[in-house]
Amino acid sequence: MLSRSAEDLFWMTRYMERAENTARILDVSNRMALLPSAEGSRSLHWAPALQIGPDPEAFYERYEKPDQRSVISFMALDRGNPSSIWCCIREARENARAERSKISTEMWESLNDTWLEVQNLDFERLEVWGYRKFFDWIKNRSHLFRGVTLGTLIQDDGFQFARLGAFFERADNTARILDVKYHVLLPSPGDIGGVVDYYQWGALLRSVSAFAAYRKVYRDAIRPSAVAEMLILNEDLPRSLHACHRAIGETLDDLCDGRKLECRRLAGEIHACLKFGRIDEVIEKGLHEFLNDFILRNNRLGSQIQQDFMMTDVVVVN
């Protein structure tokens, strides 16, 4: 298919997945800030959310401090923040509009209806709506779009590029959330193992819809090493790094169709590391170093995918 169409479909699903991920992060931050233990230190639960985005410094150019109003404004509604929910939904719709002939009517209507609801949304209207209701609505709209895509789009190359974008974005987001938890939310070793720590890890699992899955697999108290193992190496958890890159590899197999492209080799290297890795070795060598290396390699893969299929040489930055 045309490289431009491939790029539009790839980014259409990436932007919608990013909007959902941002809503998840804000929802968890809001829940944590409401805990009694957060009294007097609420900014500690809002500042880490900024670290997950691509340019946290951009926040401080327009806002004084990270509190509920400023962080939600920046990450949900700010027209100048390209990764805000508002901008992501707009860009997803624009990419879909460019490919109206290649997507289903139901896909277009789902995205267009979502955009019509948020295009004139400001903070005052969001407060009336309710933060949790809004975040849940964004997640539900993303789920609807994903289901409509799977249920109505013919599974040709266009479908594969759309699928590729969603898993690529999801893997990057999971790595960033886990990295921030280890190195921003726990600045002091004395915090580890306490009540607040338990709720933070529980919030992390909920942010990737993995709390019930963790209970089913481990059946014990929440342990940081077990959470890391589940989100990195468990191939059965839909949002784990392993599961995402297994799907990326399968999708690239279909798109490469036997051609030995560099993107397939890079994807194979990442998947092999996740498939055969052990969490004790990862933690021993440094979880931050592992996740940072994963994000860099994932971005390099994204750049290579664009070179191999979309004829562009752009480094993918989230």
pLDDT in tens, 248-304: 999 999 999 889 999 999 999 999 999 999 999 998 888 889 999 999 999 999 999
Out of 35-44, 109-118, 143-152, 160-169, which region has the weakest mean confidence (pLDDT)? 35-44
Q: What pLDDT does residue 310 have?
A: 84
Q: Return the DSSP state at 155.
A: -
Q: Which H or E run includes 221?
A: none
Residue range 221-233: mean pLDDT, rounded: 89
Q: Measured in Å, how far apart are the chain's first and last C-alpha atoms? A: 26
Crossing angle between the packed helical segments 85-98 and 105-118, to the nearest 10 degrees: 150
Whether 156 shows a pLDDT value over 90: the answer reads yes
| Residue 315 confidence class, pLDDT cut points 50, 70, 90 | very low
Q: What pLDDT does residue 317 have?
A: 44
Query: Which residues does 194 contact at the CB level (< 8 Å), separation at least 6?
Result: none
Q: What pLDDT does residue 187 have?
A: 46
Distances (CA, A) of 60 to 54, 67, 68, 149: 13, 12, 14, 37
Dist. CA 15–CA 24, nearest whole Å:
14
Average pLDDT, the chain: 87
Q: What pLDDT does residue 288 have?
A: 87
Q: What is the pTM of this model?
A: 0.89
Identity of the residue numbered 191: D
Q: What pLDDT does residue 196 have?
A: 57
| Nearest CA among 119, 97, 118 for reference residue 107 | 97
Distances (CA, A) of 56 to 10, 89, 117, 195: 25, 20, 27, 28
Q: What pLDDT does residue 303 have?
A: 92
Dist. CA 114–CA 12, nearest whole Å:
14
Whether 178 shows a pLDDT value over 70: the answer reads yes
Q: What pLDDT does residue 95 have?
A: 96
Q: What pLDDT does residue 316 have?
A: 44
